[in-house]
Amino acid sequence: MHATSLMGREISAGGSLDAEPLIGLTRAALAAQLRSLGVPERQIRMRANQLWSWLYVRGETSFAAMTDIAKDLRAEFAARFTLARPKIVTEQVSIDGTRKWLLRLDDGREIETVYIPEQDRGTLCISSQVGCTLTCSFCHTGTQRLVRNLTAGEIVGQIMLARDRLGDWPGATAEDPRGIPDTDRKITNVVLMGMGEPLYNFDNVRDACLIAADGEGLSISKRRITLSTSGVVPEIPRWGAEAGTMLAISLHGVRDELRDQLVPINKKWPLKDLLAACRAYPGLSNAKRITFEYVMLKGVNDSIADAKALVRLLAKIPAKINLIPFNPWPGAPYECSDWEQIEKFAEVVNRAGYASPVRSPRGRDIMAACGQLKSASVKQRASARAAPV
């Protein structure tokens, strides 16, 4: 963090103790803050644009470096606002290049963010809540009791921090380049598939996505942002209208009776309602499909009859199918389907015209794969509690 003294005041990335986060404010909220600082009305738009660009195009962490803004205004900003990112507790790099950050928020709560590099792209998997109020029986996050919504700033902050660490700002380089692809942009895609049910934190997740998609900022197009939901049906059309990102549905079961057990929200909004909301999702076409996620659980949902029913169920929806090998976690009541069975299941799905449906597990060695998040820190805390003082 840089710190420099301007006009007798300390300017630093962190700002003063009671400074408010600037990251995560919408353009309108940022303008309102400038107004409250007494910036003249005719300058508001320009100042907001300047700040926006420093924050989201350059990734600047110090107000002092914003040289096209008058010094006294910079000092005001520094006194009132912070540009701080969530704090990194640990950074782990998997043998396959997947990177997982355990992050600590201002109130001490922790979340995880995962970066999954591929040859020609990099996907950042971000969290929307601390924990999750839902209790899907195969998901480790669902066993965590403590839950709160993340602020828009904490959601965007995960992208900012990942860009810092990956050297993904103009002219920047990564401190630790292991596994980072040699592409222009390191983060090309963002998925809301970390901890939490994003549609239960609708407004903050929407604001964060709109900030991420802003073409004069982070510029991650809506076509490259995917929100994954367990099926909060009434919010799906609203998400389409207000955010319009790509959509993924955690399906996992093709019969209500089974899905009730796996994804309990199904009792409230059963398959019929969920699929109707999917069919009505705005802008669906063969170029803009909904992804249906299906976790492969041995002897539970992996029969050939299930595969056929899955294909029938999605017949009239522009869809992609993503078969996810179950990622185990300590005490999980399921096993991953045998590889042979996954292949047979995938073949049925393939024959129905869905290309490469199996998602290869990434970062399992660092517990970064789908549904494994939070395990390390929970274990750590449990062992810390057990340790004699």
Residue 138 binding ligand SAH, by CB under 6 A: yes
Helix H or strand E segment including 130: strand 129-130
Q: What is d(CA 178, CA 165) in angstroms, rounded to the nearest whole number?
A: 11
Residues that bind ligand SF4 (CB under 6 A): 132, 134-136, 139, 141-142, 196-197, 230, 250
Query: Of the two residues 300 and 370, which places its CB atom closer to ligand SAH in the complex?
Result: 370
Q: Which of 370, 376, 377, 378 binds ligand SAH (CB under 6 A)?
A: 370
Tell me how far, at minimum, the Cβ of 235 lies from ligand SF4, in Å.
Answer: 13
Q: Which parts of the chain fold into alpha helices (H)?
A: 27-36, 41-53, 71-80, 152-166, 202-213, 235-242, 256-262, 271-279, 304-313, 339-351, 375-386
Minimum CB distance to ligand SF4 smaller for 141 or for 327: 141
Query: What residue type is 132 in one-letter code?
Result: C
Q: Which does 112 bind (CB under 5 to 8 A by kind): ligand SF4, ligand SAH, none?
A: none
The answer to whether the CB of 143 falls within 8 A of the CB of 112 is no
Whole-angstrom distance, CA of residue 9 vs CA of residue 1:
16
Of 173, 175, 144, whose CA–CA distance to 371 is shortest? 144
CA atoms within 13 A on the CB side of 350: 9
Q: Residue 162 phi/psi, 5° resolution?
A: -65, -40
In the complex, the smallest distance separating the C-beta of residue 35 from ligand SAH, rounded to whole angstroms, is: 37
Q: Which is nearer to ligand SF4, 64 or 233 (CB)?
A: 233
371 binds ligand SAH (CB under 6 A): yes
Q: Which segment (37-45, 72-80, 102-110, 225-233) binds ligand SAH by CB under 6 A?
A: 225-233
CB 168, CB 185: distance < 8 Å: yes
Q: Could you say whether residue 323 binds ligand SAH (CB under 6 A)?
A: no
Closer residue to ligand SF4 in complex, CB, 139/180:
139
Residue 12 binding: pick among ligand SAH, ligand SF4, none (C-beta 5-8 Å cut-off by kind): none
Asked if 324 interacts with ligand SAH (CB under 6 A), we say yes
Stretch touching ligand SAH by CB under 6 A, among 153-161, 303-311, 323-331, 379-387: 323-331
Q: Find the residue with minimal CB distance to ligand SAH.
A: 371
Token look-up 């995917």 returns 226
Give the CB-side neighbour count of residue 16, counting CA atoms within 13 A.
9
Nearest alpha carbon to residue 196 among 140, 153, 141: 141
| Residues acting as catalytic residues | 112, 370
Torsion of CA 217, 239, 229, 156, to 10 degrees: 20
Strands 129-130 and 122-125: unpaired
Tell me whether residue 82 or residue 144 sits nearer to ligand SF4 (CB atom): 144
Residue 193 interacts with ligand SAH (CB under 6 A)? yes
In the complex with ligand SAH, the residue whose CB is nearer, 22 or 324, is 324
Residue pair 71/9 in contact by the 8 Å Cβ criterion: no
Q: Is residue 70 within 8 Å of 50, Cβ to Cβ?
A: no
- Choose from ligand SAH, ligand SF4, none: what does 345 bind? Cβ within 5-8 Å by kind: none
Which listed option, ligand SAH, ligand SF4, none, makes contact with residue 159 (CB within 5 to 8 Å by class)? none
Among 154, 293, 302, 306, binds ligand SAH (CB under 6 A): 293
Binding mask 58-87 for ligand SAH (x = CB under 6 A): ------------------------------
CA distance 384 to 389: 9
Among residues 268, 300, 123, which one has the least CA distance to residue 277? 268
Q: List the structure tokens of 320.
A: 């992609």
> Closest CB to ligand SF4 among 93 and 130?
130
Answer yes or no whether residue 197 interacts with ligand SAH by CB under 6 A: yes
Q: How many binding residues for ligand SAH (CB under 6 A)?
A: 18
Paired sense of beta strands 122-125 and 110-117, if any:
antiparallel
- Give the nearest distance from C-beta 194 to ligand SAH in angstroms: 6
* 295 interacts with, out of ligand SAH, ligand SF4, none, CB within 5 to 8 A per kind: ligand SAH
Give me the residues that bind ligand SAH (CB under 6 A), please.
132, 136, 138-139, 193, 196-197, 228-230, 250, 293, 295, 324, 326-327, 370-371
